[in-house]
């Protein structure tokens, strides 16, 4: 038997083992990036909370994950905290271009799409709903039913201004939980009546992912809206 045939076929030397290790790492990274891309495209996407308009439900610097399957195949409902594109120009324009690193994080779903701005608010009125603030009882009414809102920032009134609107088809009426610090639908009635297009909604804010001290789900407070009649029966 020759020396070559007696050689262990599995003993390829240190260079081969190093290459095999590198190849496995590359495969793992590629698979992880692919999974991240699929998840952020079809299921969940990360967002950053820069302001206090949703306190204390969401605090400044919170990181959240939004469920991209809402709306469709799952539907929106009153009380849902939603992320939506600033298609109507509620926010000032972006003046700084994203860095290459930020673009990379956006690609894998750690940051939202660069060049687009987003807002996070709670749905108070769905299509067909009549939403109003009744100062005489200091409560929001939906289709004539007054609601108690436990998520409102401590010490805030349900609204600092009176309003009464009927939500058109394909739109929603949104308000921040920190009512005194939220430039929400009430403050943009000069732009499409203050209504947000359902098509602009990116997803339902579902989980606080960072900081770890605030890990948890984001409640829609279904109990608040349980007795609100349908718009058709109003």
- In degrees, rounded to 5, the angle at the alpha carbon of residue 187 between the alpha carbons of residues 181 and 191 is 145
The dihedral through the CA atoms of 193, 198, 201, 203 has a sign that is positive
User: Does residue 24 contact residue 92 with C-beta atoms inside 8 Å?
Assistant: no
How many whole angstroms separate alpha carbon 172 and alpha carbon 88? 13
The two three-digit tokens of residue 51, written as one number: 């302001």
Find the DSSP H helices in the chain: 3-6, 14-42, 100-108
Which of 40, 106, 121, 182 is catalytic? The answer is 121
Residue 203 is inside which H or E element, if any?
strand 201-210
Active site residue 53: yes
Active site residue 114: no
Which of 40, 53, 106, 159 is catalytic? The answer is 53
The dihedral through the CA atoms of 135, 141, 146, 147 has a sign that is negative
How many whole angstroms separate alpha carbon 114 and alpha carbon 124? 28
How many whole angstroms separate alpha carbon 215 and alpha carbon 184? 26
Just list the catalytic residues.
53, 121
């Amino acid at each position: 038997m020759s020396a070559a045939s007696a050689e262990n076929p599995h003993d390829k030397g240190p260079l081969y083992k190093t290459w095999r290790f590198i190849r496995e790492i590359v495969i793992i990274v590629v698979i992880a990036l692919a999974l991240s891309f699929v998840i952020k495209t079809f299921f969940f996407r990360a967002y950053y909370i820069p302001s206090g308009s949703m306190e204390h439900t969401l605090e400044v610097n919170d990181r959240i994950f939004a469920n991209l399957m809402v709306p469709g195949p799952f539907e929106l409902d009153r009380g849902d905290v939603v992320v939506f594109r600033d298609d109507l120009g509620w926010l000032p324009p972006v003046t700084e271009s994203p860095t290459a690193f930020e673009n990379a994080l956006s690609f894998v779903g750690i940051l939202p799409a660069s060049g687009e701005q987003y807002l996070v608010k709670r749905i108070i009125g769905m299509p067909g709903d009549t939403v109003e603030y009744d100062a005489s009882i200091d409560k929001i009414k939906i289709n004539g039913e007054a609601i108690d809102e436990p998520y409102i920032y401590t010490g805030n009134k349900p609204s600092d201004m009176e309003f009464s609107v009927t939500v058109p088809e394909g739109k929603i009426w949104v308000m921040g939980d920190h009512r005194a610090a939220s430039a929400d639908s009430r403050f943009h009635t000069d732009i499409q009546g203050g209504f947000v297009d359902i098509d602009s909604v990116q997803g339902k804010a579902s989980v606080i992912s960072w900081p770890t001290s605030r890990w948890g789900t984001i409640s829609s407070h279904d109990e608040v809206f349980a007795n609100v009649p349908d718009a058709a029966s109003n």
